[in-house]
């Protein structure tokens, strides 16, 4: 298939960016979206031009490195997958495909389609853990956990930290990301001891970093490649409220 690509190019963090048009030809419908980008980049290199910079790594939907805002959707038009799992058969021959980076103030652009998501790491550093050291812990089966809670904790823990929720949100809110981590620990006995300071510190950090507020549009859940539920946001709000009154 042939496609007309419209790609955001920006040489560096402070440089001005613009859309550049690139036609690509004879793309197999069985190629993945990133393989299509590889083909474009090979052509650019062959012409002595700089390839388009984009983040990617595992290419099997788990590392959370790939991003791309494709035709108005984080991770493109298909549901429940990351960009690296998106295949060209989801596009029509001759279609124009608009490819942009995540756009959110706390995710500054590094180059072209690459953004800096260090803000997510900073939020986790503020409290997304159980404060124990290596060694000296009880036997694993000494902490029985209700299966239903373990399963819900796993649903929340499945977040890959890609940032699609922020990119999807008109307020650039990180509530889905933060609540997924808060929920994982809220559902487990191991996380209860420091529940108050965890939620307070993580939410404060999220606000400090300039992420917006949640206005319940649920765009985050709709675009999340791992189907993280907005029920986690409700759980975080409850944790936050309890922390504030305790």
Partner 1 sequence: MTKLDSKIPAGPLAEKWTNYKAHQNLVNPANKRKIDVIVVGTGLAGGAAAASLSELGFNVKVFCIQDSPRRAHSIAAQGGINAAKNYPNDGDSIYRLFYDTVKGGDYRAREANVYRLAEVSNNIIDQCVAQGVPFAREYGGLLDNRSFGGALVSRTFYARGQTGQQLLLGAYSALSKEINNGSVEMYTRREMMDVVKIDGKARGIIVRDLVTGKLERYGAHAVLLATGGYGNVFFLSTNAMTSNGSAAWKAYKRGAFFGDPSFVQIHPTCIPVHGDYQSKLTLMSESLRNDGRIWVPKKKEDAEAIQKGTLSPVNIPEEDRDYYLERRYPAFGNLVPRDVASRAAKERCDEGYGVGNTGLAVYLDFKDAINRLGKNVIEARYGNLFQMYEKIVDENPYQTPMMIYPAIHYTMGGIWVDYELQSTVPGLFVGGEANFSDHGANRLGASALMQGLSDGYFVLPYTMQNYLADQIGIPHFPTDTPEFNETEKDVQDTIDKLFAVKGNTSVDTFHKKLGLIMWDFVGMARNKEGLEKAIVEIQGLRKEFWQNVSVPGEQTGMNVELEKALRVADFLELGELMARDALNRNESCGGHFRDEYKTEEGEAMRDDSNFMFVSAWEYKGVDKEPVLHKEPLIYENIEVKQRNYKTA
Contacts of partner 1 in 134-163 (CB under 8 A): 134-135, 137-141, 143-147, 150-151, 153-154, 157-158, 160-161
Binding mask 59-98 for partner 1 (x = CB under 8 A): xxxxxxx------------x--x---x-x-x---------
Q: Measured from the CB atom, is 100 or 205 closer to partner 1?
A: 205
Pairing, β 96-100 against β 3-9: parallel
Number of residues that bind partner 1 (CB under 8 A): 77
CA–CA distance, 76 with 86 (Å, rounded to integer): 7
β-pair partners for 212: 173
Q: Name which position in 51, 108, 217, 222 contacts partner 1 (CB under 8 A).
A: 51
Token pair listed for 227: 């189907």
Question: Least separation, in Å, of the C-beta of 59 and partner 1?
Answer: 5
CB 217 to partner 1: min, Å: 27
Measured distance CA(124)–CA(182) in Å, rounded: 10
Concatenating the DSSP letter of every residue in 202-243 gives HHHHHHHTT-B---S--HHHHH-TT---THHHHHHHHHHHHH
Which element (helix H / strand E) includes 9?
strand 3-9
User: Is 23 a residue that touches partner 1 (CB under 8 A)?
Assistant: no
38 binds partner 1 (CB under 8 A): yes
């Amino acid at each position: 298939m042939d496609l007309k690509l419209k790609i955001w190019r920006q040489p560096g963090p402070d440089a001005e960016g613009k859309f550049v048009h690139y036609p690509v030809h004879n793309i197999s419908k069985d190629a993945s979206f990133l393989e299509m980008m590889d083909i474009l980049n090979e052509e650019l290199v062959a012409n002595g031009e700089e390839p388009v910079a984009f983040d990617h790594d595992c290419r099997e939907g788990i590392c959370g490195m790939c991003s791309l805002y494709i035709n108005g959707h984080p991770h493109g038009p298909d549901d429940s997958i990351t960009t690296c799992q998106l295949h060209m058969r989801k596009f029509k021959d001759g279609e124009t495909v608009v490819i942009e980076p995540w756009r959110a103030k706390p995710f500054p652009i590094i180059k072209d389609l690459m953004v800096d998501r260090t803000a997510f790491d900073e939020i986790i550093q503020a409290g997304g853990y159980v404060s124990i050291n290596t060694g000296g812990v009880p036997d694993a089966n000494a902490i029985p956990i209700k299966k239903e809670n373990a399963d819900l904790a796993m649903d929340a823990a499945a977040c890959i930290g890609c940032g699609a929720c922020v990119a999807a949100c008109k307020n650039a809110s990180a509530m889905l990301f933060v609540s997924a981590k808060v929920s994982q620990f809220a559902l487990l006995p191991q996380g209860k001891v420091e529940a108050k300071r965890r939620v307070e510190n993580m939410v404060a950090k999220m606000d400090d970093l300039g992420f917006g507020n949640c206005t319940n549009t649920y765009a985050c859940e709709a675009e999340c490649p791992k189907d993280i539920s907005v029920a986690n946001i409700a759980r975080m709000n409850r944790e936050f409220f309890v922390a504030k009154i305790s």
